[in-house]
């Protein structure tokens, strides 16, 4: 009798071990971009277009909006799953909390707009529900998931645009290092060579400042990036000023110092700059969520 009971308990434990994973919560997907589609519902072009739209919006407004499509959230409700995603991804700026996430559980036929604290005054529960009911779900019912998501995101952006938010901080996009390296080399030689003319006329400090300013203006015209132009202008000023200082201190050793300056032009400091594209670099800004938003189904 004891043996029979022991075997029964063992079989029951084995069955529970096999069944338990089916009831485990769905893992939170990794935040790999502004649009994460685990179902293959959106084409590559759809994802690229939507990501660019959200990237441009963040650059202009500062607020972050993300889209997540998963097969299911079971055994959790979409509300439970969405708040876990929001807590993990932290979409929106820290202490501004201006993030929003559109979550679609395709097999469950459920969706939700999760809204950060800072947007609850504009993207209210009622407004989020209207976006779902009037814009997104009608297209979902006709099978147009890409259109529904795109139109829903457009309306979310228009609503958020009406909310007064802090101006986004300027960011530096260093782009492709291969494009910057030639300009950095030109900056190096201009700082030492052409800058010598201005330093001879205006003095070491003023001449170096003039050289840095000219480099900054030209860089701004060429690159169209004010932040990067200012960075190159500062580099030009420092290189010219230090080169002239060293020249005044030890003119006889000028030729021997070529090696030290060439090492400064390696551009190693610039290589650490990160790109602003979605290719693995997008992340949440630290925003917080409190469960605001709305859910729906189709």
Q: How many domains does the chain have?
A: 2
Q: Is residue 19 part of a domain?
A: no
Positive/negative CA dihedral, 181, 182, 184, 188: positive
| Statement to judge: residues 150 and 199 lie in one domain | no
Q: Is residue 4 part of a domain?
A: no
Q: Is residue 156 part of a domain?
A: yes
| Statement to judge: residues 75 and 149 lie in one domain | yes
| Statement to judge: residues 62 and 192 lie in one domain | no
Q: Is residue 256 part of a domain?
A: no
| Statement to judge: residues 213 and 81 lie in one domain | no
Q: What is the pTM for the complete model shown?
A: 0.59
| Statement to judge: residues 181 and 235 lie in one domain | yes
| Statement to judge: residues 112 and 60 lie in one domain | yes
Q: Is residue 236 part of a domain?
A: yes
| Statement to judge: residues 48 and 151 lie in one domain | yes
Cα(203)–Cα(21) distance, rounded to whole angstroms?
75
| Statement to judge: residues 191 and 148 lie in one domain | no
From first to last of the 298 residues of the chain, give the pLDDT tens digit. Answer: 555 445 545 444 444 444 444 456 789 999 999 999 999 999 999 999 999 999 999 999 999 999 999 999 999 999 999 999 999 999 999 999 999 999 999 999 999 999 999 999 999 999 999 999 999 999 999 999 999 999 999 999 999 998 878 877 654 444 444 455 566 666 666 666 666 666 667 776 776 777 778 877 777 676 566 777 777 778 777 776 676 666 555 544 444 444 433 333 333 332 333 233 465 568 888 999 998 999 999 9
Residue 214 domain boundaries: 177-249
Q: Is residue 275 part of a domain?
A: no
| Statement to judge: residues 60 and 185 lie in one domain | no
Q: Is residue 12 part of a domain?
A: no
| Statement to judge: residues 46 and 150 lie in one domain | yes
């Amino acid at each position: 009798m004891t043996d029979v009971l022991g075997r029964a308990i063992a079989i029951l434990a084995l069955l529970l071990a096999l069944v338990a994973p089916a009831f485990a919560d769905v893992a939170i997907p990794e935040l790999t971009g502004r649009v994460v589609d685990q179902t293959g519902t959106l084409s590559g072009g759809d994802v690229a277009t939507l990501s660019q739209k959200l990237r441009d919006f963040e650059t202009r407004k500062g607020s972050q909006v993300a889209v997540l499509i998963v097969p299911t959230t079971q055994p959790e409700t979409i509300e439970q799953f969405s708040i876990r995603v929001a807590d993990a991804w932290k979409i929106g700026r820290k202490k501004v909390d201006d993030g929003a996430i559109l979550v679609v559980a395709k097999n469950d036929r459920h969706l939700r707009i999760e809204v950060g604290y800072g947007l609850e005054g504009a993207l209210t529960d009622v407004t989020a529900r209207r976006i779902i009911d009037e814009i997104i779900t009608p297209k979902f019912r006709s099978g147009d998931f890409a259109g529904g998501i795109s139109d829903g995101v457009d309306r979310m952006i228009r609503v958020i645009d009406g909310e007064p938010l802090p101006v986004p901080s300027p960011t530096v996009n260093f782009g492709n290092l291969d494009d910057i390296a030639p300009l950095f080399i030109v900056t190096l030689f201009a700082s030492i060579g052409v800058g010598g003319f201005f330093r001879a006329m205006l003095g070491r400090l003023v001449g170096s400042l003039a050289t840095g300013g000219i480099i900054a203006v030209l860089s701004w015209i060429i690159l169209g990036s004010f932040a990067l132009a200012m960075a190159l202008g500062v580099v030009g000023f420092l290189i010219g000023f230090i080169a002239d200082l060293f020249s005044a201190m030890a003119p006889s050793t000028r030729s021997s110092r070529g090696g030290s300056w060439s090492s400064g032009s390696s551009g190693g400091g610039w290589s650490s700059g990160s790109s602003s594209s979605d290719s693995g670099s997008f992340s949440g800004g630290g925003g917080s969520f409190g469960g605001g938003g709305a859910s729906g189904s189709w």
